[in-house]
A and B are shown apart, each in its own frame.
Chain A
Amino acid sequence: MLLTLFGVSFLVFAAFEIIPGDPAISKLGTDATPEMIAALREQMGLNRPFIVRYFDWLGDCIRGDFGRSYSYNRTVISMIGDKLPITVTMTIISMLLVIAVSIPVALLLAKYMGSTIDRAGYISNQILMAVPSFFLGILITYIFGLTLRFFTPGGYISYRQNFAGFIGYLLAPSVAIAIPKCAMSVKLLRSAILEEWNKDYVRTAYSRGNSTMQVMYRHVLKNALIPLITFWGMAVADMIAGSIVVEQVFNIPGLGRILLTSISNRDYPVVEAIILLIAVVVIVMNLIVDILYRCIDPRISK
């Protein structure tokens, strides 16, 4: 796990070494004289060898110091700490939506397998899966924001001002993020349920006098959720990364916003910290998935 983090940190650091662009130039602007640039590079420590800078930076990171932003006079920690709650809240709302919607829908489709409901569900699923979140975001803004006026597009409310309003505003982008994941979950869960449905224990459950819904909820669902856990774990990491675009559509000053501006400003400390953060989320989600597996599937030895 630490090895993964080490690898990611090295790749991120190396990537910005290779791609063109100089933070000193972007800070000073194109009018700067070569002397000014050289002086600033000296001051920023950019003219030391790559490996030295990398281990310097890594050592600071381990101590919890991610440096200061090149473009804003703030520490990286305080910048990310400000924005993180926004993206995390959005991801949590999306994930809750995915779970709360996909389970009953998949059960319904599985119950009416082969019927018109099932076929209609299949088609709408395929469509929703293929539509990217940002486009759904635009649609939602247009329909629910501009036409029906359920929320004010662009009227982001900070969580410091009004928490309920903040959640209310995040609802629309969360739905946009959740819909493709939800469609994917329904598809996976439906086929997992149908696969479980042919197992012998289903017949045993029927023989004890369970109704179809009781067999579904009491016996099949838990077994069918096992393959879904991996997908949901990946989905959470994906949502954090995917929120970057959706945040633009809904004008939300979250992690995505600072990531984009930092990349164009060559504000490396910020970009590196955010990418490391995403890597940590992926690794932590994998850990949580492993733990959940053990809880739900007793066959995995402890």
Chain B
Amino acid sequence: MLLEIKNLTIEFHDHDRPERVVEDVSFSLDKGEILGIVGESGSGKSMTALAVAGLLPRKKMEKSGEILFEEKNLLTLPRHDLRGLQGDEISVIFQEPMTALNPTMKIGKQVEEALLLHRHMTDEERKAKVMEWLEKVELDDSERVYEAYPHELSGGMRQRVMIAAAMVSDPQILIADEPTTALDVTVQSQIIKLLLKINKDSGVSILFISHDLSLIKQITHNVIVMQKGRIVEQGDTDEIFLHPKEEYTKKLISSIPSVDLRK
């Protein structure tokens, strides 16, 4: 078991009354596994993902439970040690490739940053590694992309750059928070295929957050269904899609538009 989350509860203290956004969530992620978290907006799926990535603000927020990675609890780990894992063992790709990249920094510099922070490498070694990943994410003309700025690339290309930047340090866990939501459908399926290929080739575990059940069905081995901060149902993806136990899961599955509806 690579990552284990035990009784994770997250409360916001931003308003007068504390607001519980994640409640008593427990699950685990194995090596090489693709685990989906599915739910509507406000279900707490993104909060859970951000907690694992160590990206939740420290103030105005109370977290309890445990997020165990390599016998360390990420929730109580000192900041400095947490930073040592971020971008090295745990990487993230976000929903909006348009804004998730720094507009005034060249692509090459952004992709190499995790290496700069976590590895002792010469400039040549680093560049070689970056070029290797730009090619692995199937960006044509990688030399040009290396020197380009984000605004010179399309949305799909930017998301490929994000994936390259996340994978360049060979992390053990890749958190993908709605990585295709902002992209159009053809690009979306290319990115999904790419993520599957990377999972197969490098053995990275993927925590795949989405509101899109058909995507979850395509890509994940196991799935967690969340509603209002709680886990409704979890298990093998095929099993859950064939035999959902809970009402909410059934409702979600029946809401997937399919060819059958038209018959």
List residues of chain A with CB under 8 Å of any chain B CB: 199-201, 203-211, 214, 218-219, 222-223, 226, 296-299
Contacts and interface: CB of A to CB of B under 8 A. Distances in A.
A199 B101 CA distance: 10
Interface in B34-93: 53, 55, 79, 83-88, 91-92
Contacts of B165: 208
A100 B88 CA distance: 35
Contacts of B128: none
A297 B92 CA distance: 26
A209 B118 contact: yes
A205 B105 CA distance: 12
Contacts of B114: 208-209
B99 A209 contact: no
B100 A201 contact: yes
Contact of B117 (A201, A208, A219, A223): A208
Given A298-B151, A299-B149, A299-B151, A207 B92 contact: yes
B103 interface: yes
A214 B86 CA distance: 14
Given A298-B149, A299-B151, A207 B102 contact: no
A207 B84 contact: no
Interface string B111-148: 00110011000000000000000000000000000000
A218 B106 CA distance: 12
Nearest to B165: A208
B117 A209 contact: yes
A218 B99 CA distance: 17
A188 B26 CA distance: 46
A206 B102 contact: no
Contact of B105 (A206, A211, A214, A219): A219
A222 B113 CA distance: 16
A206 B94 contact: no
Given A205-B113, A209-B117, 17 more contacts: A199-B99, A201-B99, A201-B100, A204-B100, A204-B101, A205-B102, A207-B55, A207-B86, A207-B87, A208-B117, A209-B86, A210-B83, A219-B105, A223-B103, A223-B104, A299-B149, A299-B151
B88 A209 contact: yes
Contact of B100 (A200, A211, A296, A298): A200
Contacts of A204: 92, 94, 100-102, 162
A298 B103 contact: yes
